């Protein structure tokens, strides 16, 4: 059976826990070729990014190379897409070329629904539409678990454009599976009402003393240019500032999926503060993606 | 002696047959690193594509990696070309860098004439101008031979913009060498008169019952925008439709070099029909290109 | 301690000599995997080019692959840079991904000052601003030393846009360290006055009989479009022509960092003249960059 990695919601808690355990293994051994380089040796993956993304593409690429896998970068804009080829036909062509997996990003929310039963090799969701970004979700869970040695009962605030954030989407899915509590804050038009019992909409400053971690979201100016967001007032109302950090528990941490806007979502001087795990998240992303690649393409599949 | 792979016309039938035999070997063993990964291990090729092409570039890249060869992608638009460098100087620079072969595509029909005696490492033609695309020609021959266990006496219809098709050009060269008969169909202004005895211009519907395979060509809108081609009337007059497939022999096959326009050259529902070999051609392209790379860069050269 | 390769000026003559010796070793062994492929095996470098450059990027890429190192190409224009990320944050992200070195080019003269104490892995300067291009400087020194078996006492003319040339900048730094004499020629507005004792501004034709080598610089039209440079008069006044070559010593050589403008800085027929080392410089660039990569990332660091 083909093991697509499309969403956290389609995985059981024990499958996710197994991925987190392997992420931990890779965090200890990723620079030890004897322990990791043979795991996916001689495989080839294709990176297919219809939306640009430095971090996610490079993160998958480094993860693959550490595991001995070759990477072919397919850049849609330099390609047959100009000639009007459909996404399905492009991916089917890559399948025909005999690659072993496809790491795929697209702006369409539902693109995988049309693909998952028709593409006969693992598809790895590297971000689709507004709702799902499961490899980011996994690295966020891994970062939390490494920090607190558990997920159950953790309280997480998510602040910003929750409505359009696939990072928030994947984190909320995981929260339900692992019994975390979620507090949502941000501009009212960007924070959806939730019926979920474990989700609470709350003013940002009220959430701060309660939580173990705050996930700051990037204001994605390219997604809602019509919105008249003032950067200074956004920073004042919804940014992570030294004053707000002071309201948090001493052991609570700051998360951000990046790329971040210094001085908007987060004060410049907090990006590398001892309570920030922002660059640690990027590091953990490689371990999580090694686990994902191994899960989808490793022996026994 | 440097072994450039520039055209099928410069190869003898027995050289082509040897390449087809190796393509078959690779079709059986390409996922078996023990049998193929050492063949061009530690070599480096440069992909130099002055015209974009997903499939051909990625196909050569996958073929190279399966053989243990590294790939450097040179993207002319991001490079010295902007600064006015000539093609010869760019390729001479890559030669100086010590790469072991250059996979090269350009819009100029005669670009290789100026290069082949001056570049001192294998040049592999990945498509030049309007006339030659010999790696596509080889994969088409391989697809036919795998299907019919012979080439001699096969009857092939080529339908569409024959005049500007390097796929058709390479196939006609091969047809002469191997005693195949070619039927040409399409809009009269796009089907050249041929003096060759083995070539017949014929209405498409008359060709269908006679042939073992139909090669549908892509309407390359970017090549003749001035032509006032109506997509619907093109599909009706020259497209592969279920009705036309019904006129073909049961064992005859449909070919298309891709990327294809669904609903123009070929009906949507025929792309993956049991008699279609369109995605099989893409798969076979990797085996053919492994054979080409080995021929040009392998031991004994 | 992290070994950044930022400038020739920060290296001692004995460090540079050691790099030249290793460059020589690589010139003898670069196609012998048994001697070189293990040296940086399983490492990963990121190429980060904010300014396009075919030769330098591909040269580092080939050098890395010969040493067994994997390469991740980060293209700023396809990336978070569009979203406003700073250079520091981009490089810190790559550091977090666990790459082992960053090959970096940027248009800002002082970009490394802000980065060198904050990025915790080797940064390799592949060209910054107008002043430094130390890997080019090293390959130029290597080319001179291979030719003349010494550097001390060599006399080098540099002709063209000296003022904006990072090639000239790095060469002058090296000249001071190794006791070479430099003659500067070119359009008066593009040749800076120097206080250095080993530097002389001189009309080009007067320099020719004195020197062991002439470094012709590219007229970088993109850098000073306002200048009304006439190509014909430039070639007549400052180009390397057969007549000017006749004024040089028989054993003197022509250098050019490339890409060159045939018919402007250099006559078409001189590019591959027996006294030209232009393509040899490109070849030597791979050996010099193998030495640089080994120095920065090899064992013992």
The pLDDT confidence band at residue C1, using thresholds 50, 70 and 90, is confident
Q: Give residue C178's pLDDT band: very low, low, confident or very high (50, 70, 90).
A: very high
pLDDT band at C219 (very low <50, low <70, confident <90, very high): confident
Answer whether residue C8 shows pLDDT above 60.
yes
Q: Are C19 and C295 in contact (CB under 8 A)?
A: yes
Q: From edge to edge, which strands make up the β-sheet containing B155-159?
A: B199-201, B181-185, B155-159, B213-216, B253-255
Residue B234 sits in a domain of what CATH number?
3.40.50.1370
Exposure letters C107-143 (e unless 16+ CB within 10 A, then b): eeeebbeebeeebebbbbbbbbbbbbbbbbbbbbbbb
| Cβ-nearest to B58 among A42, A72, A89 | A72
Phi and psi, residue C226, nearest 5°? -65, -35
Cβ pair B262:A92 closer than 8 A: no
| A98–chain B Cβ distance below 8 A for any pair | yes
Q: How confident is the model at residue A221 (pLDDT cuts 50, 70, 90)?
A: low
Residue A208 shares a structural domain with residue A291: no
Q: Given pLDDT bands bounded at 50, 70 and 90, which one contains residue C301? A: low
Q: Do A83 and B280 touch (CB under 8 A)?
A: no
On whether both B33 and B153 belong to a single domain, the answer is: no
Peptide bond into B187 cis (omega under 30): no
Q: Does the pLDDT of residue C225 top 60, yes or no?
A: no
What mean pLDDT do residues B243-261 have? 96
Residue A163 lies in a domain: yes
Is a pLDDT exceeding 70 seen at residue A101? Answer: yes
Which member of A31, A52, A259 has the closest CB to residue C89?
Answer: A259
Residues A94 and A218 occupy one common structural domain: no
For A291, B72, C136, C176, C183, the CA distances from C171, given in Å and listed in that order, are 48, 29, 9, 9, 12
Is the pLDDT assigned to residue A79 strictly greater than 70?
Answer: no
Neighbours of chain B (3+ CB pairs under 8 A): A, C
Q: B197 and B292, same structural domain? A: no
Put simply, whether A89 touches B (Cβ < 8 Å) is yes
Q: What is the value of pTM for the model shown?
A: 0.95
- Share above pLDDT 90 across residues of chain C, in percent, rounded to a whole number: 81
| CB of C229 less than 8 A from some CB of B | no
Q: Which residue of A has its CA nearest to B71?
A: A72
If you average pLDDT over every residue of chain C, what do you get? 92
pLDDT reported for residue C222: 60
Closest among C29, C17, C101, C20 to C60, alpha carbons compared: C101
Q: Please say if the pLDDT value at position A128 is more than 70.
A: yes
Please report whether residue A63 resides in a domain: yes
pLDDT given at position B244: 98
In whole angstroms, give the CA distance from residue A124 to residue A293.
8
Say whether both B146 and B116 belong to one domain: no
User: Is it the case that residue A248 has pLDDT exceeding 90?
Assistant: yes
Residues C238-276 as b or e (16 or more Cβ within 10 Å = b): bbbeeebbeebeeebbbbbbbbbbbebbbbeebbebebb
pLDDT of residue C292: 98
Rg from Cα positions in chain A: 19
B101 bridge partner residues: B45
> How high is the pLDDT of residue B230?
81
Mean pLDDT of C35-63: 94
Q: Over the stretch A179-189, which tens digit does the pLDDT of each residue have?
A: 999 999 999 99
Residue B4 in domain = no
Residues 130-169 (C) with a CB less than 8 A from some CB of B: none
pLDDT at residue C52, rounded to an integer: 79
The predicted structure's pLDDT at residue A130: 77
Chain C residues closer than 8 Å to B85 by CB: 259-260
Q: How close are the terminal C-alpha atoms of chain C, in Å?
A: 7
Residue C140 shares a structural domain with residue C246 = yes
In a domain, B159, yes or no: yes
- The answer to whether C69 faces chain A, any CB pair under 8 Å, is no
Q: Is the pLDDT of residue C226 over 70?
A: no
Any chain A CB within 8 A of the CB of C84?
Answer: yes
**C83 in A contact zone (CB under 8 Å):** yes
DSSP code string of C212-246:
SEEEEPP--TTT-TTS---HHHHHHHHSB-HHHHH
- Cβ within 8 Å, pair A58-C83: no
Rounded-to-integer distance, Cα A241 and Cα B239, Å: 64
Rg (C-alpha) for chain C, rounded Å, is 19
Higher pLDDT, B80 or B27: B27
pLDDT level of residue A74 (50, 70, 90 thresholds): confident
Quote ipTM for the complex: 0.93
Q: Verify whether the Cβ–Cβ distance A74 to B55 is below 8 Å.
A: no
Task: Please give the Cα distance from C70 to A58 (Å, whole number).
Answer: 12
Count CA atoms closer than 13 A to B79's CA, side-chain side.
Answer: 25
pLDDT band at C53 (very low <50, low <70, confident <90, very high): confident
pLDDT score, position A122: 97
Q: Is residue B248 one of the residues assigned to a domain?
A: yes
Provide the percentage of residues in chain B whose pLDDT is more than 90: 81
Per-residue pLDDT reduced to its tens digit, A88-100: 999 999 999 999 9
| Tokens representing residue B204 in the block | 């498409």
| Peptide linkage before C259 cis (omega within 30 of 0) | yes
Contact B72 C66 (CB under 8 A): no
Mean pLDDT value across residues B1-23: 95
Alpha helices in chain A (DSSP H): 13-29, 33-36, 54-66, 87-96, 111-115, 134-148, 166-178, 204-207, 231-238, 242-247, 278-297
Considering the domain architecture, whether residues C123 and C188 belong to the same structural domain is answered as: no
Question: Would you say residue B160 lies in a domain?
Answer: yes
Q: Residue A83's pLDDT is what?
A: 61
A285, A136 contact by CB (below 8 A)? yes
Distance CA B70, CA A31 (A): 22
**Cα separation, C299 vs C38, whole angstroms:** 11
How far apart are alpha carbons A174 and A170 in whole angstroms?
Answer: 6
* pLDDT, chain A, mean: 92
Residues C45 and C66 in one domain: yes
Of C81, C86, C94, the CB nearest to A58: C94
Is the minimum CB–CB distance between C100 and chain B shorter than 8 Å?
no
Q: Is residue B8 part of a domain?
A: no
Residue C129 pLDDT exceeds 90: no
pLDDT on residue A75 = 78
pLDDT at position B175 over 90 = yes
What pLDDT, on a 0 to 100 scale, did the predictor assign at position C174?
Answer: 94
pLDDT grade for A1, boundaries at 50, 70 and 90: confident
Per-residue pLDDT averaged across A141-169, rounded? 96
Contact B95, B121 (CB under 8 A): yes
Q: Average pLDDT in the C228-242 region?
A: 89
Q: Look at the alpha carbons of B110, B114, B117, B119 in this order and tell me if their dihedral is positive or negative.
A: negative
Judged against a pLDDT cut of 60, whether residue C102 lies above it is answered with yes
* Total domain count, chain C: 2
To the nearest whole Å, the CA of A31 is away from the closest chain C CA by 8
Which structural domain range is residue B186 located in? 136-277
In this predicted structure, what is the pLDDT of residue B34? 96
Chains that touch A (3 or more CB pairs under 8 A): B, C
Overall average pLDDT of the C160-174 stretch: 92
Q: Which residues pair with C181 in a beta bridge?
A: C155
- pLDDT tens for B50-67 read 987 878 999 999 999 999
How many interchain CB pairs under 8 A, B with C? 70
SS3 assignment, position C87: helix
Do both A34 and A158 map to the same domain?
A: no
Contact state of A78 with B73 under an 8 Å Cβ cutoff: no
Asked if B201 contacts B163 with a C-beta cutoff of 8 angstroms, the reply is no
Coil vs helix vs strand at A196: coil
Contact C122, C99 (CB under 8 A): no
- What is the pLDDT at residue C204? 98
Residues of B in contact with C54 (CB under 8 A): 74, 78-81, 90, 93
Residue B232: the pLDDT is 87
Task: Provide mean pLDDT across the span B122-135.
Answer: 90
**Average model confidence (pLDDT) for chain B?**
92
Same domain, C263 and C143: yes
pLDDT in the model for residue B53: 83
Q: Which residue has the tokens 């893409």?
A: B282
**Residues A156 and A35 grouped into a single domain:** no
On the question of pLDDT at A160 being above 60, the answer is yes
Interface probe, candidates C27, C58, C276, C281, chain B, greatest B C-beta count within 10 A:
C58
Stretch A260-271: mean pLDDT = 95
Whether A5 is covered by a domain: the verdict is no
Query: Which of C30, C55, C261 is the closest to B93 by Cβ?
Result: C55
Distance between CA atoms of residues C209 and A37, nearest Å: 58
Which strand (E) or helix (H) includes residue C106? strand C101-106
pLDDT at C78: 55
pLDDT of residue C137: 96
Q: Give the residue-averaged pLDDT of A75-104.
A: 83
Whether residues A129 and A156 share a domain: the answer is no
Structure letter (DSSP) for residue A221: T
């Amino acid at each position: 059976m083909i093991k697509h990695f499309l969403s956290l919601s389609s995985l059981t808690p024990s499958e996710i826990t197994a991925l987190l355990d392997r992420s931990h293994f890779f965090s200890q051994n990723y620079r030890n070729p004897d322990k990791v380089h043979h795991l996916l040796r001689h495989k080839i993956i294709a990176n297919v990014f219809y939306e640009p993304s430095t971090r996610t593409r490079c993160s998958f690429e480094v993860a693959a190379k550490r595991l001995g896998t070759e990477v072919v970068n397919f850049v849609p804009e330099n390609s047959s897409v100009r000639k009007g080829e459909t996404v399905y036909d492009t991916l089917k062509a890559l399948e025909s070329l005999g690659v072993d997996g496809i790491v795929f990003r697209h702006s369409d929310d539902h693109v995988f629904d049309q693909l998952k039963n028709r593409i006969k090799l693992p598809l790895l969701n590297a971000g689709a539409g507004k709702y799902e970004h499961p490899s980011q979700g996994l690295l966020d869970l891994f970062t939390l678990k490494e920090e607190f040695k558990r997920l159950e009962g953790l309280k997480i605030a998510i602040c910003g454009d929750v409505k359009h954030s696939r990072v928030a989407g994947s984190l909320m899915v995981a929260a339900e599976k692992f019994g975390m509590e979620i507090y949502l804050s941000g501009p009212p038009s960007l924070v959806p009402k939730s019926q979920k019992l474990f989700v609470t909409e709350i003013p940002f400053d009220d959430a701060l003393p309660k939580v173990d971690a705050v996930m700051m979201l990037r204001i994605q100016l390219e997604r809602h240019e019509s919105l008249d967001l003032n950067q200074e007032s956004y920073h004042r109302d919804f940014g992570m500032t030294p004053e707000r950090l002071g309201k948090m528990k001493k052991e609570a941490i700051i998360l951000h999926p990046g790329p971040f806007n210094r001085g908007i979502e987060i004060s410049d001087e907090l990006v590398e503060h001892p309570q920030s795990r922002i660059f640690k998240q990027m590091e953990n992303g490689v371990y999580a993606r090694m686990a994902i690649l191994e899960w989808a393409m490793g022996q026994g599949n």
